[in-house]
């Protein structure tokens, strides 16, 4: 116990010391003349495309608000953050920022005055973006209509409201630097890696976030619960979850860009990403991301759970089968094959069998529509069943689809369903 | 998303408590429940695409036995479209709907609205709230002639002589449950439900007392749907207030 206290003291002391050093040496605003971006129509259009790939609009726009004018609440375990106004308004937006200011923000996570940004802004990913791409995004943002809207102060609990302490977070979790292509890989793979690790900031959800709000490099893309949204972002490295090692490049690219594929469909937070961002990918970029994502997962697939864990009570299975035949069979078929891409298959769909059953339970409770995209503007939807099925029935039917047709998932329990039933769908 | 505490929610709960025992009429119709189970004939059809709506609103938008989900069949397409857009953009708040339509584009929402506007399923019988004769009379007066002294126009002046609505943006009121009607009026009054400016329903709802809301819900829910539930055609000149949703 005493040992622990000493460790804690040393840690706290170190953090305070780091914060003091930071305060003494922190960079202020940039001085001198900035590089001037030649904002041709072509550059602005490229910037618009890249801003979409980076999905700036999703966080920097309040529901029903002017695009990029900020104000959207970002609930975090540490309190609410409010995204800033990034329209070129001189007083309330980034109208006075230079291209250098913007690049420093992307690369180092520093605001114009040199203060530290909270890592809800994915600068740990954006640091990989090239100067040229940063300049194009800057040119595009400077071209949108300025909106006068003051930034709303964050509502973080002590001590998280002390920005200086972010120096600790940065030491642990932030590695600055542009993407370095891997010469052993193809140009297409490198393009995909650049987009996935950089602007796409996929790791923000698909790498587990720990209690300090950081994600470690060793666990990159291994999946995690999305804080405050209660959806599980599957691992991209395990074929048992969202791992795409066995998928065709076409199916992966479709999932990202179209929102539906012959293997699975996006819902929840990923539907938002496809709607706001990935649907605008060029076919080449979608394929590049797919090639890179496919390479993250090894091809072999040992069973996720042991046969003991998969043991299911016959009565539960029978109840699940009954519910399935009554409510689900119309769209997902007798053999769970679905009618892809309209209705996704359940057999062999890793989203159904993942160790964490949150996503399939939520889908049964709340239903869902894939995003309406340029290539699939009229998606087929699934209705909610929370007002029709009891906790026992939902648990039974989710258990059934996790073990039927050769699926290798573990059963779920009524209390697991009940926990999720209490949440508002989002 | 936070749920604002609704100071008038007691009304809704009260209405709910009263009808709990009384909904057997709807349950007596086997059609009601089967029609809420997903079913379609052709995969590439609007019918198959809107299966996401069926467990609450029924296969043809007739509603289900649940005492809150409204009938949407036959309401004017403009009204349904406005609601879908408002749900998507968070201007009308009901978490299950906000979630479902969050990422659907305008053109598709328009198609869904037009699909349900064309449906003509039979009206479901549903429960009524017990109400004393004086209250029912007050409800009828408000609906048929309004209360000029309080600046409340008659419901029928916009919602149609048969309460079947008016193109393009005024919904029909027949076939709705008392709970749903009371809840919408209360939500309008407290500012939780809004329509396009000028928001005529807000002006009206804020002039209604709690007793008025209860009387209207009770009387409206007792009205027999006409054989032809077509909304009336647009007639802005006849409307007593300017309504943004009729533009």
**Model pLDDT for residues A39-89, shown as the tens digit of each residue:** 899 999 999 999 999 999 999 999 889 999 999 998 888 889 999 999 999
Q: Is residue A219 scored above 80 in pLDDT?
A: no
Residue B45 has what pLDDT? 96
Residue B108 has what pLDDT? 98
**More confident position, B161 or A307:** B161
ipTM (interface predicted TM): 0.89
Q: Tell me how far apart the alpha carbons of residues A98 and A33 are, in angstroms, rounded to a whole number.
A: 9
Over residues A206-215, mean pLDDT: 70
Q: Is residue B9 scored above 60 in pLDDT?
A: no
Which range among A253-262, A387-396, B17-26, B195-204 shows the weakest confidence by mean pLDDT?
B17-26
**More confident position, A312 or B16:** A312
Are the C-beta atoms of residues B193 and B199 closer than 8 Å to each other?
no
Over residues B144-166, mean pLDDT: 95
Total Cβ atoms within 10 A of residue A135:
23
Q: A314-421 maps to which CATH number?
A: 1.10.760.10
Nearest Cα of chain A lies from the Cα of B187 at a distance, in angstroms, of: 19
Mean pLDDT score across all residues of chain A: 90
Which of A 46-85 lie inside 8 A of B, CB atoms?
Answer: 63-64
Domains A187-296 and A314-421 share a fold: yes
Select the residue from B41, B65, B91, B99 to test the A interface by mutation, using most A Cβ atoms within 10 A: B99
| Rg of the Cα atoms in chain A | 23
Are the C-beta atoms of residues A106 and A123 closer than 8 Å to each other?
yes
What letter does residue A223 receive in the DSSP assignment?
B
Q: What is the homologous superfamily of the domain B9-246 according to CATH? A: Cytochrome c-like domain (1.10.760.10)
Q: A187-296 maps to which CATH number?
A: 1.10.760
Q: Is residue B20 scored above 80 in pLDDT?
A: no
Over residues A169-174, mean pLDDT: 84
Q: Give me the long-range contacts of B139-142 (CB less than 8 A, separation at least 24).
A: B139/B215, B139/B216, B139/B217, B139/B218, B139/B219, B139/B220, B140/B219, B142/B208, B142/B212, B142/B215, B142/B216, B142/B219
Closest chain B residue by Cα to residue A382: B52
Residue A306 has what pLDDT? 66
Over residues A235-257, mean pLDDT: 85
Contact with chain B for residue A183, Cβ under 8 A? no
Q: Is residue B99 scored above 80 in pLDDT?
A: yes
Residue B166: pLDDT band (50, 70, 90) is: very high
Closest chain B residue by Cα to residue A341: B43
**A384 to B91: CB separation less than 8 angstroms, yes or no:** no
Residue B27: pLDDT band (50, 70, 90) is: very low
Helices A358-366 and A391-403: angle between axes, nearest 10 degrees: 130
Residue B32 has what pLDDT? 42
**B55 to A368: CB separation less than 8 angstroms, yes or no:** no
Contact with chain A for residue B110, Cβ under 8 A? no
Residue B221: pLDDT band (50, 70, 90) is: very high
Contact with chain A for residue B135, Cβ under 8 A? no
Contact with chain A for residue B27, Cβ under 8 A? no
Q: Which residues of A touch B103 (CB under 8 A)?
A: 271-272, 274-275, 369-372
Q: Tell me how far apart the alpha carbons of residues A226 and A222 are, in angstroms, rounded to a whole number.
A: 13
Residue A394 has what pLDDT? 98
State in Å, rounded, how far the first CA of chain A is from the last one. 42
Residue A377 has what pLDDT? 98
> Tokens representing A220?
């990159």
Q: Is residue B116 scored above 70 in pLDDT?
A: yes
Total Cβ atoms within 10 A of residue A157:
10
% of chain A residues with pLDDT over 70: 88
CA atoms within 13 A on the CB side of A212: 13
Contact with chain B for residue A322, Cβ under 8 A? no
Q: Which residues lie below 8 Å from residue A178, measured CB to CB, with a gap of 6+?
A: A107, A127, A128, A129, A130, A131
Q: Which residues of A touch B107 (CB under 8 A)?
A: 377
Residue A24 has what pLDDT? 62
User: What are the sequence ranges of the domains in chain A?
Assistant: 18-173, 187-296, 314-421
Q: Tell me how far apart the alpha carbons of residues A320 and B37 are, in angstroms, rounded to a whole number.
A: 16
Residue B14 has what pLDDT? 41
Residue A222 has what pLDDT? 75
Residue B247: pLDDT band (50, 70, 90) is: confident
- Give the SS3 label for residue A14: helix
Closest chain A residue by Cα to residue B37: A327
Contact with chain A for residue B38, Cβ under 8 A? yes
State in Å, rounded, how far the first CA of chain B is from the last one. 30
Q: Is residue B2 scored above 50 in pLDDT?
A: no
**More confident position, A206 or A22:** A206
Nearest Cα of chain B lies from the Cα of A152 at a distance, in angstroms, of: 17
Q: Which residues of A touch B101 (CB under 8 A)?
A: 369
Total Cβ atoms within 10 A of residue A387:
15
Residue A361 has what pLDDT? 97
Q: What angle do CA A375, A380, A385 make, to 5 degrees?
A: 145
Residue A301 has what pLDDT? 54
Contact with chain B for residue A214, Cβ under 8 A? no
Q: Is residue A19 scored above 70 in pLDDT?
A: no
The per-type count for chain B, helices as H runs and strands as E runs, is: 13, 0
Which range among A52-61, A201-210, B132-141 shows the weakest confidence by mean pLDDT?
A201-210
Q: Tell me how far apart the alpha carbons of residues B16 and B219 are, in angstroms, rounded to a whole number.
A: 16
Q: What angle do CA A16, A164, A223 make, to 5 degrees?
A: 100
Q: Using a cut of 0.95, tell me whether the model's pTM lies above it.
A: no
**A387 to B66: CB separation less than 8 angstroms, yes or no:** yes
A-B CB pairs within 8 A amount to 101
**B90 to A385: CB separation less than 8 angstroms, yes or no:** no
% of chain B residues with pLDDT over 90: 69
Q: Is residue A102 scored above 70 in pLDDT?
A: yes
B15-29 b/e (C-beta count within 10 Å ≥ 16 → b): bbebbeeebeebeee
Q: Is residue A424 scored above 90 in pLDDT?
A: no
Contact with chain B for residue A45, Cβ under 8 A? no
Q: pLDDT tens digits, residue range A338-370? A: 999 999 999 999 899 988 999 999 999 999 999
Residue A218 has what pLDDT? 67
Q: Is residue A396 scored above 60 in pLDDT?
A: yes
**B56 to A383: CB separation less than 8 angstroms, yes or no:** yes
Q: Which residues of A touch B66 (CB under 8 A)?
A: 387
Q: CA B84 → CA A426, B6, B113, B156, B182, distances in Å? A: 16, 23, 8, 24, 21
Closest chain B residue by Cα to residue A277: B103
């Amino acid at each position: 116990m005493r040992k622990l206290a000493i460790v804690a003291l040393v840690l706290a002391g170190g953090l305070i010391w780091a914060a003091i050093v930071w305060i003494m040496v922190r960079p202020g605003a940039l001085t001198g003349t900035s590089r001037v971006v030649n904002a041709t129509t072509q550059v602005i259009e490229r910037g618009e495309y890249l801003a979409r790939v980076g999905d700036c609009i999703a966080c920097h726009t309040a529901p029903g608000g002017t695009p990029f004018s900020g104000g959207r609440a970002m609930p975090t375990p540490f309190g609410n953050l409010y995204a800033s106004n990034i329209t070129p308004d001189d007083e309330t937006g980034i109208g006075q920022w230079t291209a250098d200011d913007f690049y420093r923000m992307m690369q180092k996570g520093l605001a114009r005055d040199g203060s530290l940004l909270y890592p809800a802004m994915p600068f740990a990913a954006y640091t990989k973006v090239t100067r040229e791409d940063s300049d194009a995004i800057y040119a595009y943002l400077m071209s949108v209509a300025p909106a006068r809207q003051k930034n709303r102060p964050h509502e973080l609990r002590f001590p998280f409201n002390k920005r200086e302490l972010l120096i600790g977070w940065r030491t642990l979790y932030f590695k600055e630097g542009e993407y370095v292509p891997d010469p052993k890989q193809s140009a297409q793979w490198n393009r995909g890696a650049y987009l996935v690790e950089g602007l796409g900031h996929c790791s923000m959800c698909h790498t587990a976030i720990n209690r300090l709000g950081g994600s470690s490099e060793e666990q990159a893309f291994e999946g995690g619960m999305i804080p405050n949204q209660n959806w599980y972002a599957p691992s991209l490295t395990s074929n048992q979850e969202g791992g795409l090692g066995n998928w065709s490049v076409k199916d992966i690219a479709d999932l990202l860009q179209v929102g539906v594929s012959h293997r699975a469909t996006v819902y929840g937070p990923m539907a938002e990403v496809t709607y706001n961002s990935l649907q605008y990918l060029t076919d080449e970029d979608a394929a590049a991301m797919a090639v890179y994502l496919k390479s993250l997962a090894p091809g072999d697939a040992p069973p996720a759970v042991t046969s003991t864990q998969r043991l299911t009570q016959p009565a539960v299975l029978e109840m699940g089968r009954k519910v399935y035949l009554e409510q689900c069979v119309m769209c997902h078929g007798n053999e769970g094959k679905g009618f892809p891409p309209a209705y996704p298959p359940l057999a062999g769909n890793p989203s159904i069998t993942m160790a964490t059953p949150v996503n399939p339970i939520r889908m049964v409770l709340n239903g869902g529509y894939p995003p309406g995209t340029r290539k699939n503007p009229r998606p087929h939807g699934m209705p909610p069943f929370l007002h029709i099925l009891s906790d026992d029935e939902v648990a039974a039917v989710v258990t059934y689809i996790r073990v039927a047709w050769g699926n290798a998932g573990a059963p779920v329990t009524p209390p697991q369903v009940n926990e999720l039933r209490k949440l508002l769908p989002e | 998303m936070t749920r604002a505490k609704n100071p008038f929610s007691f009304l809704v709960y009260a209405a709910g408590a009263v009808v709990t025992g009384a909904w057997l009429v709807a349950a007596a119709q086997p059609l009601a429940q089967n029609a809420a189970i997903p079913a379609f004939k052709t995969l590439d059809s609007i019918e198959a695409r809107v299966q996401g709506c069926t467990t609450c609103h029924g296969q043809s938008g007739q509603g289900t036995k649940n005492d809150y989900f409204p009938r949407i069949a036959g309401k004017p397409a403009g009204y349904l479209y406005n609601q879908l857009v408002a749900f998507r953009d968070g201007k009308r708040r009901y978490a299950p709907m906000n979630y479902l339509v969050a990422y659907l584009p305008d053109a598709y929402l328009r198609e869904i609205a037009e699909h349900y506007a064309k449906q003509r399923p039979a009206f479901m019988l549903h429960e009524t709230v017990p109400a004393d004769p004086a209250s029912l009379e007050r409800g009828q007066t408000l609906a048929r002639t309004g209360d000029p002294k309080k600046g409340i126009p008659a419901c029928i002046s916009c919602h149609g002589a048969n309460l079947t609505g008016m193109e393009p943006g005024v919904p029909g009121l027949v076939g709705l449950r008392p709970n749903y009607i009371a809840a919408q009026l209360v939500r309008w009054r407290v500012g939780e439900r809004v329509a396009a400016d000028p928001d005529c329903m807000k002006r009206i709802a804020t002039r209604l007392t709690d007793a008025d809301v209860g009387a209207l819900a009770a009387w409206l829910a007792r009205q027999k749907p006409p054989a032809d539930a077509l909304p009336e055609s647009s007639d802005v000149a006849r409307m007593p207030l300017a309504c943004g949703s009729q533009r």
